[in-house]
Amino acid sequence: MSEEGSVDPRVQRTRRDVIDATTALFRAEGWAAVTHAEVARRAGYSKATVYAHWPTRLDLIRASVGQICGTTEHAPPTGDLRADLIRELLDFAGDLSRGHLTRVIGGVFERAGSDPAVDEMRQQLYAEGARSLAAILAAHLPAESVEPCVALLTGGVLVRVALQAAPATEEFVEDLVDRVLASSQG
């Protein structure tokens, strides 16, 4: 029997409600907004209950990042390398443009190096975000080309949206994909 199956259903419900509230707050307002008091208020539980399961703010954030990574969905690859990459990158750009992913990544980047748990979250976010792109590329390119291409593609979109505050339009993403593919196959 799984550990989750042996946990009291009320505890499971509390965990789900609190993590859902934390994730919604983290995405909407960023790291600084995630406090035990605000999460408890939004989830409908006492602060004591929240503290009992998540003693620190970092525990709440870690649970939220775990939920974000665990619920990320990607469309299955079609086999068309260029089209699959464009679709994935436009989805990533959309998440960044709506702001929720930028707030999550920004909060983690801001605290990177301050705590091994934060660095672990940063790695988890990247691994989950890059998983689909890496799988698409791995089906078409030599293994040694996959990671550099993932970095160029995600980095290009991240810089465009988060740092340049410009839209990663379909035209931009198509050009980025074409340039990266040309450099990896040339």
Per-residue pLDDT of 137-176, as tens digits, reads 999 999 999 999 999 999 999 999 988 999 999 999 999 9
Residue 121 lies in domain: 75-185
pLDDT band at residue 2 using 50, 70 and 90 as cut-offs? very low
Mean pLDDT of 93-117: 86
Q: What is the mean pLDDT of the chain?
A: 89
| Residue after which a domain boundary falls, among 68, 83, 103 | 68
Are residue 63 and residue 87 in the same domain, yes or no?
no
Q: Which two tokens stand for residue 147?
A: 């990671």
Please give the pLDDT value at position 1: 40
pLDDT band at residue 66 using 50, 70 and 90 as cut-offs? confident
129 Cβ partners below 8 Å, 6+ apart? 72, 92, 154
pLDDT band at residue 5 using 50, 70 and 90 as cut-offs? low
Q: Are 181 and 81 in contact (CB under 8 A)?
A: yes
Measured in degrees and rounded to the nearest 5, phi and psi for residue 164 equal -90, -10
Compute, in degrees rounded to 10, the torsion defined by CA atoms 19, 107, 125, 146: 170
Please give the pLDDT value at position 4: 52
Residue 73 and residue 51: Cα distance in Å, rounded?
A: 30
| Residue after which a domain boundary falls, among 37, 68, 99 | 68
Residue 114 and residue 58: Cα distance in Å, rounded?
A: 12
Residue 95 and residue 76: Cα distance in Å, rounded?
A: 18
Are residue 83 and residue 163 in the same domain, yes or no?
yes
Give how many domains the chain has, as a whole number.
2
Mean pLDDT of 24-29: 89
Residue 46 and residue 17: Cα distance in Å, rounded?
A: 12
Are residue 28 and residue 83 in the same domain, yes or no?
no
Q: Are 168 and 160 in contact (CB under 8 A)?
A: yes
Are residue 26 and residue 94 in the same domain, yes or no?
no
Are residue 52 and residue 91 in the same domain, yes or no?
no
Flag whether pLDDT at 129 surpasses 80: yes
Give the number of residues written for the chain: 186
Residue 86 and residue 101: Cα distance in Å, rounded?
A: 19
CATH number for 9: 1.10.357.10
Are residue 176 and residue 105 in the same domain, yes or no?
yes
